[in-house]
Amino acid sequence: MKLPADLYFQKDYRIQWWYFTGHLFDANGREFGYEVTFFAAGVQKRTYRSRFGVDTIYLSHIAVTDVQGKRYYHFSTADASAYGFAGADDKRLHVWVDKDFVEGTSKKLHVKAITEDVGLDLFLVPVKSPVLNGERGYSRKSEASPLIASRYFSFTDLKTEGTMKLGSSVFSVRGQSWFDREISSRGLSKDEAGWDWFALQLEDGREIMLYYIRKKDGSIGAYSSGTLAQKDGRYRRLSKDDFMVGVAGHYISEHTGARYPSKWEIAIPSEDLRLVVTPLVQDQEFTSEDAMGNTYWEGTCGIEGSARGRAYVEMTGYQAD
């Protein structure tokens, strides 16, 4: 990893994203979860003299969970690189899709996205240095090929403040965020169905990323892994055998009919951790009709057990029974 350069757009890769999640509160303790992701998907390698040429599609996915109101809002925006309606800079951190953008440095980031009904305008300051996931930032995803992998690092703890808009109401909010930067050129292998990903932020100052790849035959991929960051910023890799994730409940989406896990029991014996992760709002399914056609569950969750905290969970590849 080379900072700040790896924060910038990497033109030699087919798919990359800048991904933010967080847990925010207003002055009265009203809680909101949020997700903001910017995707850049290369569609061809060409150099255009005209500003109308298209080589990359850009997307922004925005979601806000109003925990008190038990409401989940989400929207997506997509545009091509032609004529500057969307883009990403390879000399500085600036990614935009229409009016949605992220910009800044490794010391302070600014994320903004807004529609008529929902919006956010946030400033994020890392509390800890970034962690390298996988083997020193090389995160392999499949036994099929070492090329099915990504460059992957995270800022696991960012002090966050700004504003949250819901309808005609605007809230001043503060809290904690998580930022992932992932750069790749290959998707999952043909025998893989999807993944379950967890970003755990514990009140004792530890943060934990875990993911497991689900295969179509029901087994778990060998390269499922995680990273555990201590309060002082030291971190270590977790292999598939270092943690266990059990599903303790399910729910069926009213929108797509997909059957998702809705409660998890997580154990990390080396840390003496036994955690129960539960969605704060059950329906947090993101359905999209944009260029990527993604439908997935991504939501804010509470953590109980041997430690307390908040989590974001992402699940992809689930279908109706």
If one compares 215 and 121, the residue with the highest pLDDT of the two is 121
What is the structure's pLDDT at 292? 58
In order of their start, the domains of the chain are 5-316 (2.40.370.10)
Please, what's the b/e burial string for 40-63 (b: 16 or more CB within 10 A of its CB; e: otherwise)? bebeeeeeeeeeeeeebbbbbbbb
Q: What is the pTM of this model?
A: 0.93
What is the chain's alpha carbon radius of gyration, rounded to the nearest angstrom? 19
Q: How confident is the model at residue 54, as a pLDDT?
A: 53
pLDDT recorded at residue 239? 94
Peptide bond into 146 cis (omega under 30): no
Q: Which residue has the higher pLDDT, 225 or 222?
A: 225
pLDDT digits (tens, 9 = 90+) for 61-90: 999 999 999 999 999 988 887 777 899 999
Closest by Cα among 252, 250, 253 to 261: 250
Select from 209, 269, 274 the least CA-distant residue to 237: 209
Mean pLDDT confidence for 117-133: 95
pLDDT band at 50 (very low <50, low <70, confident <90, very high): very low
β-strand partners of 304: 276
pLDDT at 228 over 80: yes
pLDDT (average), residues 19-34: 97
- Average pLDDT of the segment spanning 261-280: 97
Per-residue pLDDT band for 140 (boundaries 50, 70, 90) equals confident
pLDDT the model gives residue 11? 86
Centroid of chain to Cα 212: 15
